[in-house]
Amino acid sequence: MSIAEIQEELIDEFSLFDDWMDKYEHLIGLGKSLPLIDPALKTDDRIIKGCQSKVWLHAAMENDKLIFTADSDAIITKGIIAVLVRVFSGQSPEEIVKANTDFIDQIGLKEHLSPTRANGLVSMIKQMKLYAIAFQAQLKK
């Protein structure tokens, strides 16, 4: 699936819930189902700055696609990063770099997060895009 298709899927998925408690419940479920990251990768240099809870993000190339793995010590944060991993992992660096992220507003994620968490979300996306730019540069060499 393309990034845009996955984003559509997520928008549909979240629109099933009217109540924000239920949306949170879904987000928590996504966090719980995020594949475990290799503990050896949970190093300080993989922590994303700007989050009140800790978020570790790792990126690696497999057959020209970028694979993200991540973890967080807070489950709601883990749900947020799980959403982003679902959107961006397995895509080419080029697609990730040019992807727009309006889906976050469409889901209503940003407005329902506390300001510190919303900042954290922005930092996560930025970090994923930075990885993509770095790997894109490598591919061009």
61-95 as b/e: b if 16+ CB within 10 A: eeeeebebbbbbebbebbbbbbbbbbbbbbbbbeb
Q: Which is nearer to another protein, 26 or 65 (CB)?
A: 26
The two structure tokens encoding residue 15: 């629109």
Q: Is 113 a catalytic residue?
A: no
Catalytic residue among 3, 10, 27, 51: 51
Q: How far is the CB of 51 from another protein (least distance, A)?
A: 9
Surface-to-core class of residue 138, CB atoms within 10 Å of its CB (0-12 exposed, 13-18 middle, 19+ buried): exposed
Chain centroid, CA 24 distance in Å: 16
Q: Which is nearer to another protein, 53 or 92 (CB)?
A: 53
Separation CA 102–CA 119 (nearest Å): 15
Which string of x and - marks every residue 18-57 that binds another protein (by CB under 8 A)?
--xx--xx--x-----------------------xxx---
Q: How far is the CB of 25 from another protein (least distance, A)?
A: 6
Q: Which is nearer to another protein, 55 or 85 (CB)?
A: 55
As annotated, the active-site residues are 51
Judged by the rule CB under 8 A, the positions of this chain that interact with another protein are: 20-21, 24-25, 28, 52-54, 73-77, 114, 117
